[in-house]
Amino acid sequence: MGSALPVLAFWIASIFQVPYLYLLRFFAGFCLIANGVYIGLGWRLANGADPGVMIGNGSPVWLLIVFGILTFPSGLYLWHRQGRYFGLGTAGGKVDGHATIISAILFLGLIVVECLLGNRS
């Protein structure tokens, strides 16, 4: 879910050519990279974390490694040539002000959702 939903949102938004699509592309790439490293290497580095629970429930280690091998480069692919939108390269440090506001609002919304739904035990 941590990678699938952002990638699905990016894919749907790209079909409809949503403005500021690059923000969703960046977020989907980030989720792929973060989850790829976390699951692909976490079985070795993070005892008791999600990869450990997955192994404890019967997932083979090779499957976690394959997940990391597939998702990490996919995230890098989504990030490729996106620097200009974030002030790098030919952008000369300039970032669209609207994109900054949109990102801040989405971030605050994510915090609210996590606070409301995050601790549902």
Tokens of 1: 């879910």
CB 52 within 8 A of CB 43: yes
pTM: 0.84
- Digit-by-digit pLDDT tens for the chain (121 residues) are 789 999 999 999 999 999 999 999 999 999 999 999 999 988 888 666 888 889 889 999 999 999 999 999 999 999 998 988 888 888 888 989 999 999 999 899 989 988 998 776 5
Domain boundaries, given as residue ranges, for the chain: 4-80, 93-121
SS (H, E, C) 84-109: HHHCCHHHCCCCCHHHHHHHHHHHHH
CB 23 within 8 A of CB 82: no
